[in-house]
Amino acid sequence: MLPTIPELARLCGVSRGTVDRALNGRPDISDKTRAHVLKIAQQNGYVPNVLARSLVTGKSNTIAIVVFDLRNRHFAQMINAIQQSIFQAGYFSYICITEKDRKRETQILRDLAARKVDGIIIIPINKSPAFEEELLKLHVPTVTVSNRLSSKFSYVGADFRLACYEGMQAFYEKGYRNVSFICPCADEQDDVNAYAQIQRAKGYASFMNEHPEMHGSLITSYDYCDIILQSVHGRQEKIGFFCSSDYYALNILAFSRKQGLDVPKDFGLMGFDGIDTLDYIEKQLSTIVYPIENVGKSAAELLNRLIANADAPHDVFVDFAFRQGNTL
Amino acid sequence: MLPTIPELARLCGVSRGTVDRALNGRPDISDKTRAHVLKIAQQNGYVPNVLARSLVTGKSNTIAIVVFDLRNRHFAQMINAIQQSIFQAGYFSYICITEKDRKRETQILRDLAARKVDGIIIIPINKSPAFEEELLKLHVPTVTVSNRLSSKFSYVGADFRLACYEGMQAFYEKGYRNVSFICPCADEQDDVNAYAQIQRAKGYASFMNEHPEMHGSLITSYDYCDIILQSVHGRQEKIGFFCSSDYYALNILAFSRKQGLDVPKDFGLMGFDGIDTLDYIEKQLSTIVYPIENVGKSAAELLNRLIANADAPHDVFVDFAFRQGNTL
DNA sequence: GTGAAAGCGCTAACAA
DNA sequence: TTGTTAGCGCTTTCAC
């Protein structure tokens, strides 16, 4: 349907090599022939076949972004940032959603290798050594984000542990001596990679360890709203809840609205991530801002360097920041 | 690095054709040879080269989703729904962001044709006949979403005009006789495709025409918050604002919180789309729900049929629904 | 400055 | 049942 190089060659009365020279701005061709070929190509709506080109060059100019969700604001923001970076470099990107299905993730990675992607940015949901080995065997430059795999893979993230430790300090300074940490993901099966979440829980635990005067617990149940309701009931002492993700905090705020609870009067609340949905709600949620746009940008740049075999840091840690709202 | 078919053939001591038969479950091969080839392939980490396959079959098993934004909840939800549908059919998808840059959109479409995508789902930002012609010349099955191009292209959307007309009825029944429509996008340059937005504005206009007792205007300025502030000031009569997108309404709610205005006491507010961010805010925004997941699903199914040359409706209109909140 | 030919890795049609 | 071969559309090398 669309013309190919041999076709243009016939139309122009020159050889395929000459057409190639004209089309791709290569030297060793007269201005006249070049102009002619270009005109004919244009007239016939010539579109190069990138697949054929990739087959011979070995470069597909495609990268893949593998995440387990898209509805979460966080991922959309990150993907957006990555796209900005790579588009200029001429890359297209596959977006792949694993839905926290480990098998699916494995399959997707295999498929991506079959499609000869030049690189992969992934928030992995697997973590087994077998998985790592498979990923390595694909021989595709890979950057892991948020969820760490092992030192065999480049990583972009933040010091989540320290971040939560500092979040706890904020509670402490505000006079809270009873703070629980809400982190349902930490409870998932052993074989799921929840690194980022677990590090956050560890930061909490480490603060609690160092402060025996503190009370509170790690809440790994998805019924955290009910648990909060019970904990708050008839209590005098200041009590706080630190969520490992803003989404939990948003749910809690919606819940307390319905229950007639007042934050921070009835309990203090803090989130994590700093998603942009927070801009629209009535309270300013205190949270730890994990600058996901920077993460995306860094991951893209790192991957670029890996692909180009250029010098690149193995890991990149972005700065987080505590943001004071009015829920503490 | 990774083995290819000729390599496996050598390793197995059979011909390339036989390897192909084994690998792709084709007939005319003994169980024994098949098993042997499969084992060797597995041992050597064989991964097919999909590019080479596509080159010969003429099918890339890839579709593209072209939108102008990703940060908007709406698009993320739609992409998610599309992915669900097409993944089962074995497709991968490129996500392309045009950022409302018309040239960029044109370039992206050309690049997609060069990559031999099997189909395209697009919320177009161009609308010129020249653009349509270019798109047609690519000979790639295409489904337009929300923003209509012309009858030359399949379309998935809703009757936005009727939707807004009905939205106005809701205002009317609540006693509002002064309602303005906030639709900044309607003001964009002539050559930008803002079909969905403009249809909404038309629904408003048509209601206003039929009801001379109504007052109000079409607000196309992005300073709509200030305009509201002035309009509301010292007014007795019930006044309402109908936004062509929930995002405007969310901004207005955030603004009125700051200004100490009370919705719906000081003014009535209605949005459009029903994005899921609404679940987290303190008010229940009255809105028109445009079921974007259905849109995504329908678009994917329609595209599938177009690609397969199967019977397919030319256009699909999904049902919208007015959702009563507490902002009227 | 231009043409001819090999080959990227695969599928598919035809021989053996 | 298996092997051989001709492309898919392109890049690249080498010869003219």
pLDDT in tens, A111-169: 999 999 999 999 999 999 999 999 999 999 999 999 999 999 999 999 999 999 999 99
Q: Which residues of B touch A116 (CB under 8 A)?
A: 49-51
User: Does residue A154 contact residue A120 with C-beta atoms inside 8 Å?
Assistant: no
Amino acid at site A181: F
Q: Which residues of B touch A103 (CB under 8 A)?
A: none
Is A54's CB within 8 Å of B50's CB? no
pLDDT in tens, A190-213: 789 999 999 999 999 999 999 999
Bases of strand C lying below 7 A from some protein CB: 1-14
pLDDT in tens, B24-55: 988 888 889 999 999 999 999 999 999 999 99
CA A49 → C1' D16, Å? 29
Which pLDDT belongs to residue B236?
85
Q: How far apart are CA A246 and CA B157, in angstroms?
A: 32
Regarding pTM above 0.75, the answer is yes
Average pLDDT over residues B145-156: 97
* Residue predicted with more confidence, A324 or B73: A324
Check residue A51 and report its DSSP letter.
Answer: H
Amino acid at site B42: Q
Amino acid at site A118: D
Is A50's CB within 8 Å of B115's CB? yes
Residue B76 CA from chain centroid, whole number: 8
Which pLDDT belongs to residue B155?
98
Element (H, E) at B144: strand B142-145
* Residue predicted with more confidence, B89 or A291: A291
Q: Which residues of A touch B276 (CB under 8 A)?
A: 71
Average pLDDT over residues B257-268: 94
What are the residues facing B317 on neighbouring strands?
B157
Q: Which of B81, B80, B86 is nearest to B60 (CA)?
A: B86
φ, ψ dihedrals at A258, nearest 5°: -65, -40
Mutate to test the interface with B, among A44, A47, A105 (most CBs of B within 10 A): A47
Q: How far apart are CA A211 and CA A214, in angstroms?
A: 6
Q: How far is CA A147 from CA A106, A245, A269, B28, B246, in A?
A: 16, 14, 25, 46, 33
Is B70's CB within 8 Å of A76's CB? yes
Q: How far apart are CA B252 and CA B228, in angstroms?
A: 9
Sign of CA dihedral A256, A260, A265, A266: negative
User: Does residue A93 contact residue A64 with C-beta atoms inside 8 Å?
Assistant: yes
Contacts of B115 (CB under 8 A, 6+ apart): A50, A51, A92, B60, B62, B94
What are the residues facing A143 on neighbouring strands?
A121, A154
Q: How far apart are CA B186 and CA B56, in angstroms?
A: 46
Mean pLDDT of chain B: 94
φ, ψ dihedrals at A305, nearest 5°: -70, -35
Which pLDDT belongs to residue B160?
98
Which pLDDT belongs to residue B126?
96
Which pLDDT belongs to residue B298?
98
Which pLDDT belongs to residue A30?
87
pLDDT in tens, B180-239: 999 998 776 678 999 999 999 999 999 999 999 999 999 999 999 999 999 998 888 999
Of the CA atoms within 13 Å of residue A270, those in its CB half-sphere come to: 31
What are the tokens at A205?
């635990």
Distance from CA of B213 to the nearest CA of A (A): 34
**Which of B55, B76, B94 has the CB atom closest to A51's CB atom?**
B55
Which pLDDT belongs to residue B185?
82
Helix pair A31-43, A16-23: axis angle to 10 deg: 90
Average pLDDT over residues B155-177: 98
Q: Which nucleotide is nearest to A47 (CA to C1')?
A: D9
Which pLDDT belongs to residue A191?
86
What are the tokens at B179?
């309602």
Average pLDDT over residues B97-115: 96
Q: Which nucleotide is nearest to B46 (CA to C1')?
A: C9
Q: How far apart are CA A207 and CA A10, in angstroms?
A: 75
Q: Which residues of A touch B51 (CB under 8 A)?
A: 51, 54-55, 60, 115-116
Sites in chain A below the pLDDT cut of 50: none
**Which of B48, B254, B276 has the CB atom closest to A114's CB atom?**
B48
CA B264 → C1' C15, Å? 83
Is B257's CB within 8 Å of A71's CB? no
